[in-house]
Amino acid sequence: MYDLIKDPTSVPKIKTLKDDLVHSLKNCRSFELCLSWMEGNLTYLDSDDVLNILFHIFVEAELPVESLALYTHRYTEFQRPKRARPYTRMHKQPNLARAWTELATLQVTQPYFFHLANYLYRILPQIMQTAPRLERLIIIGDAISGQSRDLVSLLKNVKPLAEIKHLEIHRSGVALEDIQEWLQLIGGQLLSLTFSGCSIITSASWTTFLSCVKTTCPRLEAVTFEELTVGIDCLTAQYEGEEVADALDCMMRMFEEATLVD
């Protein structure tokens, strides 16, 4: 078993990165981190190490990080890594919650292979349950493989510390009943809801889901459904403004008609 790097900022190059962020990049508030498919190659840092380093820098430098994106690159079967570190440990360091005290936007892309997905499923709930200012959550899946259901369904068991006001789900195969369950927790404060390039992978219908949205999201101001697979159609509907409830009724009729045609 490998251990995380202890006292990361005592390493000269990491300290240089910290100093640069503090003194030369004072306005840097947004960070993107690619979880590497090269894990298992001992010449590369593990995702545990990379996030551990980054979060320690955030904490020690008191950086007001507002936006964080976690994603991975695709890989081929030939490139499939052999996992050298089978267990993640970063999520067991609760003090690092100070790293995301100012986080307002969190964007997560479904990893394309299991060990990074397993890692993400642990760190994502921790961030959501301890980030006091988180308002926007963006989930980007991999609808082609169908593996994105796990990432989206993970949400139903997470109660955010903050009030999620904007929820976006892109390119995902979704179990709508899972999202309906989560809306019971967060829907009361939701202002905007977006589904783009998604398809349903269970028996629940978009029509039933829209009815749930109408009931559980009384403050909703904007709703976007873009290129959703419904039967043999690919539907798009968008509304922003007052009388969202009426707009949802119109959308329900449109989705119902598409289902009947199928």
What confidence score (pLDDT) does residue 218 get? 95
Question: 32: part of which helix (H) or strand (E)?
Answer: strand 30-35
Residue 143 contacts residue 67 (beta carbons within 8 Å): no
What confidence score (pLDDT) does residue 112 get? 56
What confidence score (pLDDT) does residue 145 get? 55
Q: Could you state, in order of their start, the residue ranges of all structural domains in the chain?
A: 1-99, 135-262
What confidence score (pLDDT) does residue 67 get? 94
88 class by beta-carbon count within 10 Å (0-12 exposed, 13-18 middle, 19+ buried) = buried
Q: What is the mean pLDDT of each run of 10 residues along the chain (262 residues)?
A: 67 91 91 69 64 85 90 53 50 71 90 65 86 94 63 85 95 89 94 93 89 95 91 88 92 86 60
